[in-house]
Amino acid sequence: MIPANTISKKRDGHNLNRNEINLFFKNYIDGLVTDAQMSAMLMAIYFNGMNEDETFALVETMLYSGEILDFSNSQYYVADKHSTGGIGDKVSLILAPIMAAAGIKIPMIAGRGLGFTGGTIDKLESISGFETSPNLKTFQHWVEKNGYAIISQTDAICPADKKIYNLRDKTGTVPSIPLICGSIMSKKIAEGISGLALDIKIGNGTFMKNKKSAFELGDWMKKIGKEFNIKTDILYTDMNQPLGNFAGLSCEIEESISCLKGTGPNDLMSIIFELGSKLLLQAKIAKNYSSAISIQNKIIQSGEALMQFKNSIKSQGGAFENFQFQNQAKYETFVHKKESGIITEMKTEEIGWALVTLGCGITNDNKILDNTAGIEFYKKLGFETNEDEPIFRIFCSNKSKLEKVATMLSSTVVIGRHYKEKPLIYY
**Are both 262 and 150 inside the same structural domain?**
yes
Q: Are residues 93 and 220 in the same domain?
A: yes
Please tell me whether residues 104 and 153 are part of one structural domain: yes
Q: Do residues 113 and 360 lie in contact, with contact meaning Cβ atoms separated by under 8 Å?
A: yes
Query: Is 183 considered catalytic here?
Result: yes
Closest alpha carbon to 308 in 88, 100, 32, 51 = 100
Q: Is residue 269 part of a domain?
A: yes
3-state DSSP assignment of residue 308 = helix
Distances (CA, A) of 247 to 87, 209, 331: 6, 20, 16
Look at residue 345 and give its three-state secondary structure.
strand
Using an 8 Å Cβ cutoff, are 286 and 77 in contact?
no
Domain assignment of residue 236, yes or no: yes
The larger pLDDT score, comparing residue 427 to residue 332, is at: 332
**Within this chain, do residues 110 and 240 fall inside the same structural domain, yes or no?**
yes
364 — pLDDT class (breaks 50, 70, 90): low
Residues 6+ apart with CB under 8 A from 120: 90, 92, 93, 110, 111, 150
Angle 19-224-142 (CA atoms, 0-180°, nearest 5)? 105
| Residue 101 maps to a domain | yes
Do residue 129 and residue 245 come from a single domain? yes
Do 391 and 330 share a domain, yes or no? yes
Find the domain containing 32 and state its range. 3-48
Q: Could you confirm whether 168 is annotated as catalytic?
A: yes
Which one is catalytic: 80, 122, 161, 370?
A: 161
Q: Which residues contact 248 (CB under 8 A, 6 or more apart)?
A: 118, 355, 358, 360, 373, 374, 375, 395
CA distance 365 to 359: 10
Q: Do 308 and 359 share a domain, yes or no? A: no
Average pLDDT for residues 91-114, to the nearest whole number? Answer: 95
- Domain with residue 32: its CATH number is 1.20.970.10
Q: Are residues 341 and 306 in the same domain?
A: no
| pLDDT, mean over the chain | 95
User: Which pLDDT does position 112 carry in this prediction?
Assistant: 85
Find out whether 252 and 90 touch, Cβ atoms under 8 Å. yes
Separation of alpha carbons 313 and 328, rounded Å: 20
- Segment 154-192, tens digit of pLDDT: 889 999 988 898 799 789 898 899 999 999 999 999 999
- Shared-domain flag, residues 339 and 297: no
Predicted local distance difference test score (pLDDT) of residue 175 = 83
Q: Specify if 227 maps to a domain.
A: yes
In the predicted structure, residue 365 carries a pLDDT above the cut 70: no
Report the distance separating Cα 8 and Cα 288, nearest Å.
51
Q: What percent of the chain has pLDDT over 90?
A: 89
Does some domain include residue 421?
no
Domain CATH number, residue 99: 3.40.1030.10
**pTM of the model as a whole:** 0.93
Name the CA dihedral angle for 236, 241, 245, 250, rounded to a multiple of 10 degrees: 80
Tell whether 243 is covered by a domain.
yes
Total tally of structural domains belonging to the chain: 3
Q: Are residues 265 and 242 in the same domain?
A: yes
Q: Which of 183, 194, 250, 277 is catalytic?
A: 183
Does the structure show a pLDDT above 70 at 415? yes
147 lies in some domain: yes
DSSP 14: P
Cα distance between residue 217 and residue 79, in whole Å? 20
Write down which residue in 294, 315, 336 finishes a domain. 315
Note if 161 is an active site residue. Answer: yes
Residues sharing a CB contact under 8 Å with residue 146, sequence separation 6 or more, in sequence order? 100, 308, 311, 312, 315
Count Cβ atoms within 10 A of the Cβ of residue 157 and give its class: 0-12 exposed, 13-18 middle, 19 or more buried: buried
The verdict on 98 and 207 lying in the same domain is: yes
Residue 198: strand, helix, or coil: strand
CA 273 to chain centre: 17
Catalytic, out of 10, 81, 82, 90:
82
For residue 123, tell me if it sits in a domain. Answer: yes
pLDDT, one tens digit per residue, over 274-305 is 999 999 999 999 999 999 999 999 999 999 99
Helix, strand, or coil (residue 13): coil
Say if CB 213 and CB 426 are below 8 A apart: no
Beta carbons of 110 and 92 less than 8 angstroms apart:
yes
Among 90, 112, 162, 168, the one annotated catalytic: 168
Q: Based on the domain organization, do 343 and 363 belong to the same domain?
A: yes
DSSP state of 412: S
Residue 362: CATH number of its domain: 3.90.1170.30
Q: CA–CA separation, 83 vs 86, rounded Å?
A: 8
